[in-house]
Chain A
C-alpha cells in the first residue's frame, strides 16, 4: 500500500484520492463505451423511423430499439452517475473513498450485468423493450443482467453514503456539505428507493421466466415497474441539476441565491417524485381517477415546483455572479457575455433550457390525467423524454466531461475548436428531434413501431402527409444529433487515451487540506439585489422565467382545447 494517495489539481484546486480517481475514470470510460454502442443503435433506429429510408427489417428494429433504450437509459447514465457520486463525495469533500475494494466489486457487477443483458438481447430471445411488460416473455438472462447491474449500482450508492460518513467523522470539511454534494445525496437516496422497487419487480419476473412462478398480473407489474422506472428518472434529474450547480460554480464561481431554497427544492424531489409513477398509468384499466389525480398532481406538481425552482436558481446564481463581475448593463449583458465558446458552459446552459422548455412543459402536459388520452404511447412520449434524459441529463454530463478531461484525466481536450461546436450540434439537433417527435405524436404517430405506412397489415391506414414530413425531420435532426454525439465520443476517447498531458505538476502526496467554507457574501448596500433591478438580484433570469411560464400556460391551454375536440367519453 502506498501512502501517497492524494493529489491536488493545480488548476481547479480539487483534491483527488487515488483509488477514487481510478474508479471515477473507469466508470466514466465504460459509460462512454455504453454511449457509443447506444449511439450506434440510435442511428439504426432513427434511420428506420425515417420513412424515406426505413433501414432495418422489423425484427432487427425492435431488437435494436430494446438495445438502445437499455444501453442509453440504464447503462450509460448509471455508470456516469456512479462516477458523479464518487466525485461529489470523495473529491468535493476532500475525503478518502469508503471501501475502494467494494467499489471495484460494484463496478464489475455492473459490467457483468450489462454484458449478460446485452448478450440476451443480441441472442434475439429478449426483444421486449426496456419495459419488458409481462406476459411477453424474455430470456431469463435479460432480467438476470439487470438484477446484477442493479446490485452493483446499489453498492455504489452505499459507498457514497459511507464516504459522507467518513468525511464527517474525519472532519474533512467545515460546516455543512456543499450544495452539489447535497444534490448528489438526494440522487443517491432516490436511487436506493428505486433499486428496491426494481428488485421487487425484477426478481419475481426472473423467477417467472424460469418457470418458478406461474403468473404475474399485468397491471400490478406496470404499477411496480414504473415505481422503479419513473423514480430512476428522478435520480437523473437530481444528478443533472447537481451538475448544473457544479458547473455554475466552476465556470462562474456562482453560489446559490440561497442555500435554503435550493436545498429544500432537492428535498421536494425525495418527498414527492416517487408517487409520480402514476402518470404512466393514466389510461390503464383498474385504477380510479382520484388515485390518478392525487398521485400525479399532488405529488408530481410539487416535484415540478422543485424543478421550476432550480430552473430559476441555477441561472439566477450565474446572473448574480456575472453582475458582481460588472456585467450589469440591461437585463441580459450577463448572459451575452457568458463564455459561449466554452463547452462546459454552453452545454450546461443548453441542457437547462432544453430540459425546461421542451422536457418539462411536455412532461407536465402529458402527465395531466385527461390529456394523456391524446398522447399515451404516441411518439410524443419519446419526444418528451429525449428532451429530459438526452438534452437534460446526457448533455449536462457531456459538459461536465469537458471539465473532467483536464482535471480528472490530466489530458488536454483534443480538437478544442470542434469541442466548442459539439454542444450546439448535439443540443440543437436533439431539440429539433424532440419537437418533431412531439409534433408527429400529436398527429397520432405511434412509438415503438416499425411501419407507419402499415404496408403488410390486412387493414390499412394513412397518416396525413404532414406526419410523414415530421418523421422525415425526426430522421434528419436525429442524425445531426448523432453526429454531435459521435464528435463527443471522438474527442473524449482521443483525449483520454492519446491526448497530450496537461503540463502543470500534480503529483500524489499524503498531505491533505481541509475543505473550507465559502467566502461570506459581501452584500452591497441594500442587499445583493442592489446590483439587479426592481429589487431583484437576478432580473434577467426572472424575465426568462416569466417567459417560460407564458409558454407553459399557452401550451397547456392548447392541449385542453385539442382534447375537447375528441369524442365525448366517460
Chain B
C-alpha cells in the first residue's frame, strides 16, 4: 500500500517523471491548446457566434418596443388565443418576449434574409430553444439579448422553453415561420 502512505523518497519532487507520463502530458497539453485556439478561430472564420450585444431593460420598456412592432407589422393571428403573426421587413429589429408561459409574438421571417433578433424575459428565467434547428439561449429578466440571425432553411421552427419556469413550463411554445424569399 503506497498511495496511502507517505512517499518513500523524502525529496519526492526531485524524482524524475516516467517517460509514459511525460509523453502523455505533452500530448494532452497540445490537445488542450488546440481546443483553446478553436474558439477564437471560430469567431473569425465560423458563422455561428453569439454577438454578446445585450442591454439592460425593464419589462415595461421592452413590452412597449415589442408592442410597437406588433402594431406595425401584424399580418394575421393564429391559434384560439389569437396570437399575432408579425412579418417585419428584412434587416429590421425584431422583438420576441418570453413570459409565463408563452413566446410572443409569432414571427414570420424570410429565408436568406438577416434580422436583428431581440429577446428578453418579462418575468422569470426562460430557455429559448429553437427546434429542430437546435439553437439554445438563456433568457433573463432585465436583459435584452440581441442576435443577428440569417435563417437559411425554410419551414416552421418551433420555440420551446428549456429552462424550468414553473408549472406551465412544458406548455411554453412559440413559432417562427420561415417563408421562401420574395414571396
Contacts and interface: CB of A to CB of B under 8 A. Distances in A.
Given A257-B21, A448-B164, A136 B79 contact: no
A221 to B, nearest CB: 9
A25 interface: no
Interface in B161-181: 161-167, 169-175
Interface string A512-534: 00011111110000011100100
A203 B129 CA distance: 32
B150 A569 contact: yes
B17 A261 contact: yes
Contact of B1 (A250, A309, A549): A250
B183 interface: no
Contacts of B8: 255, 517-521
Contact of A284 (B18, B135, B138): B138
Contact of A567 (B25, B152, B161, B169): B152
Contacts of B83: 458-459
B43 interface: yes
Interface stretch (A153-161, A230-238, A368-376, A470-478): A368-376
A288 interface: yes
Contact of A219 (B6, B47, B140, B173): B140
A253 B2 contact: yes
Contacts of A180: 3-4
Interface in A491-548: 515-521, 527-529, 532, 535-539, 541-542, 545-546
Contacts of A568: 47-48, 149-150, 152
A464 B132 CA distance: 9
B94 to A, nearest CB: 13
Interface stretch (A107-115, A169-177, A190-198, A418-426): A169-177
A257 B39 CA distance: 34
Contact of A566 (B2, B20, B48): B48
A305 B35 CA distance: 12
Given A305-B32, A458-B81, A377 B129 contact: yes
Interface string B13-56: 10111111101110111011101101110110011111110100
B15 A259 contact: yes
A298 B5 CA distance: 34
B7 interface: yes
B171 A456 contact: yes
A448 B132 CA distance: 18
A287 interface: yes
Contacts of B162: 376-378, 446-449
A461 B158 CA distance: 7
Q: Which of A287, A459, A520 has the most CB of B within 10 A?
A: A459
B3 A284 contact: no
A175 B7 contact: yes
Contacts of B36: 293, 297-298, 301
Nearest to B129: A446
A569 B48 contact: yes
Given A297-B35, A369-B39, A92 B136 contact: no
Contact of A538 (B20, B39, B134): B20
Contacts of B167: 58-59, 62, 127
Contacts of A446: 127, 129, 160-162
B136 A567 contact: no
A377 B36 CA distance: 23
B74 interface: no
A357 interface: no
Contacts of A542: 20, 23-24
Interface residues of B, number: 92
Contacts of A539: 20
B52 A302 contact: no
B17 to A, nearest CB: 5
25 contacts: A58-B170, A136-B166, A176-B12, A253-B1, A257-B21, A259-B7, A259-B15, A281-B138, A301-B33, A301-B35, A302-B32, A369-B39, A369-B42, A370-B42, A372-B136, A376-B137, A456-B171, A457-B170, A458-B80, A459-B83, A459-B175, A461-B131, A567-B133, A568-B47, A569-B147
A133 B23 CA distance: 44
B20 A312 contact: yes
Interface of A: 13, 58-59, 62, 92, 127-129, 133, 135-136, 173-181, 217-219, 222, 245-246, 248-250, 253-261, 281, 283-289, 293, 297-298, 301-302, 304-305, 308-309, 312-313, 316-317, 364, 368-370, 372-378, 442-444, 446-451, 454, 456-461, 463-464, 515-521, 527-529, 532, 535-539, 541-542, 545-546, 549, 552-553, 556, 560, 563-564, 566-570
Interface of B: 1-10, 12-13, 15-21, 23-25, 27-29, 31-33, 35-36, 38-40, 42-43, 46-52, 54, 78-81, 83, 102, 123-125, 127, 129, 131-145, 147-153, 158, 160-167, 169-175
Given A175-B7, A293-B40, A459-B79, A444 B24 contact: no
A218 B50 contact: no
A173 B140 CA distance: 54
Nearest to B43: A289
B132 to A, nearest CB: 6
B135 A460 contact: no
B57 to A, nearest CB: 10
Contacts of A181: 4
A130 B36 CA distance: 31
Given A178-B3, A444-B129, A570-B49, A313 B35 contact: no
A569 B1 contact: no
Nearest to A309: B25
Nearest to B31: A549
Contacts of B147: 569-570
A309 B24 contact: yes
Q: Which of A248, A283, A460, A464 has the most CB of B within 10 A?
A: A283
Contact of B6 (A176, A459, A556): A176
Given A260-B12, A373-B48, A566-B48, A254 B149 contact: no
Contacts of A313: 21
Contact of A249 (B1, B145, B161, B175): B1
Nearest to B12: A259
Contacts of B152: 567-568
Given A377-B127, A560-B38, A569-B148, 17 more contacts: A127-B167, A133-B163, A218-B143, A249-B5, A250-B4, A253-B2, A283-B50, A378-B134, A458-B173, A516-B6, A518-B7, A538-B20, A549-B31, A567-B152, A568-B47, A568-B149, A568-B150
Nearest to A546: B27
Contacts of B170: 58, 449-451, 454, 456-457
